[in-house]
Amino acid sequence: MAVEQVLETAHRSATELEPAPLAAELQSVLGQKLVAFAIGDRHPKTVGRYARAEREPSDDALKQLVDLYTIVNVLEHGMRRETVRSWMLGANPRLKGKAPIEVFHDGRTQDVLRAAHTFVARR
């Protein structure tokens, strides 16, 4: 599958999922604390509440979850699922040595998406 198609498929999957399975999937790949950090929530248990459909995310939180899921889904096309978390935590030369999760947290979603896209394209 071409990388552009991977990106389009990942985004479509993210936007078609309801908030609960979206949060649950992210929680299973990255863990509650990392997802909470990424979306700017100080309370990791909130992510669990989203995943169990006990609480609906705000529009801003939902946008962040969709964007994060898109990135994770793109990465899963280029690496094993178990290594996605490591990629998100590791210093990335395309992000000036910062970890992708930090850059995402800082609101630079497109930079992380480009780094993920480039990584998958070179595999």
Residues in the chain: 123
Domain containing residue 28:
3-121
Count up the domains in the chain and report the number.
Answer: 1
pLDDT of residue 1: 65
Q: Around Cβ 74, how many Cβ atoms within 10 Å?
A: 25
Q: What is the pLDDT along the chain (123 residues), one digit of tens a residue?
A: 677 788 889 889 999 999 999 999 999 999 999 999 999 999 999 999 999 999 999 999 999 999 999 999 999 988 998 899 999 999 999 999 999 999 999 999 999 999 999 998 887
Tell me the C-alpha distance between 26 and 64, whole Å. Answer: 11
